[in-house]
Chain A
Amino acid sequence: MSHLAIFLVVGALTLVIRGWAVVAVGLGFEVTPAMTRTLRLVGPAVLSAIAANSLFVSDGHFSANWAWCLAALIAAASWLKWRSGGISFVTGFVAVSILTQLM
């Protein structure tokens, strides 16, 4: 299979994944208040899972990069202090650059 075909297949499947619930609700499927409350947990659960996986796992193995871990903590603390994603991101990058040179 060509590389373009791989991208096209993944793109088509991803579009189906993105659209399934929008289509279902458009066809009359009802989302109850309990489902809505449950779905509000999607963000914290999935984003935390991705964050932890990208921070601690590399090629299926635990890989604790302490500079990354410390910089992540600093970025998190920065968000708690300033409530700004941009500031947290820049802080995290500056921290990891300094820590990588020190450690």
Chain B
Amino acid sequence: MGFPASSTSRRAAAQALRDVIPFLIAVVPVAIVYGFAVTESIVDNIIGLSGSWIVLGGASQLSIIDSIDSNASAGLTIATATMINLRFALYSAALAPTYARYPLIQRVWLTYTLTDQGAALVMAHDETDPDDRAGLAYALVACTAITSTWWVATILGAALGATIPDNIDMAFAMPLMFIVLAIPTLKDRPSLVAGLVGAGVALAAKDLPQGANIVIGGLAGIMAGRAVQIHTDSGADPTRSRR
């Protein structure tokens, strides 16, 4: 049974709609790139576009299309895409305590619709407003808006991709989206160290199979950021007394 609707829920839903708009603007170009990539691929259009609801992960979907077009084996294609999606395990762990307080049906839906953008929004909201009704309404609206936009925009990309002017570099949408997502999370010293180490290790490990360097970089960044947190908590940080 869900939480009853309340003014708290409505306010949170309205806030989610406001917060999610910049992310939707960022999602649409990437989705269009994916839709266009499907039409250029050897993968059947219906199957390729179905990837948007079967997998629901832009980077991994693009990797599947790319691997198939490169004649990679099915095993490598699956392993690569799954490795890219391993980051969702970390988001799942971050949001699990919050989601555990929600009703089952909503929990299942929020688990399925867990994306980079949705996780970033829900985590940020959870830190500022711990109210369960508000949190559930916020998460449902934000995650559903992102997911449905992804679905629609990938289809649009397949339909309209050929009309995109040549001087618009659609390939830049992917790095740009992740940069715009990452920067707001770098808000204190531990998160800054986590980001720098994560990026550095991912680049240093670029020779690993595709996607593995992201997982290793992410884990290294988390460990480095945690080390900074522990160092700060222990009082060994000389700047701590000034805060």
Q: Which A residues lie at the B interface, using CB under 8 A?
A: 1, 3-11, 13-15, 17-22, 24-26, 31, 35-57, 60-62, 67-68, 71-72, 75-76, 79-80, 83-90, 92-93, 96-97, 100-101
Contacts and interface: CB of A to CB of B under 8 A. Distances in A.
Nearest to A30: B97
B222 interface: yes
Interface in B164-186: 167-169, 172-186
Contacts, number: 285
Nearest to A29: B96
A3 B43 CA distance: 7
A53 B203 contact: yes
Majority-rule SS of B interface residues: helix
A69 to B, nearest CB: 10
B229 A37 contact: yes
Interface in B1-30: 21-23, 25-26, 29
Interface string B116-127: 100110010001
A79 B200 CA distance: 22
A73 to B, nearest CB: 9
B197 A45 contact: yes
A55 to B, nearest CB: 4
Nearest to A89: B26
Contact of B172 (A8, A48, A68, A87): A68
A85 B185 contact: no
Given A7-B51, A10-B81, A51 B182 contact: yes
A54 B183 CA distance: 15
Contacts of B127: 40
Contacts of A35: 93
B192 to A, nearest CB: 7
Interface residues of B, number: 95
B202 interface: yes
Contact of B74 (A6, A14, A20, A48): A6
A97 B96 contact: no
28 contacts: A10-B60, A10-B81, A14-B55, A14-B85, A18-B91, A21-B93, A22-B95, A24-B96, A25-B99, A37-B229, A38-B229, A40-B127, A41-B225, A42-B93, A44-B191, A45-B221, A46-B87, A47-B185, A48-B198, A49-B199, A50-B202, A53-B206, A53-B217, A68-B169, A68-B175, A75-B180, A92-B172, A93-B176
A57 B175 CA distance: 11
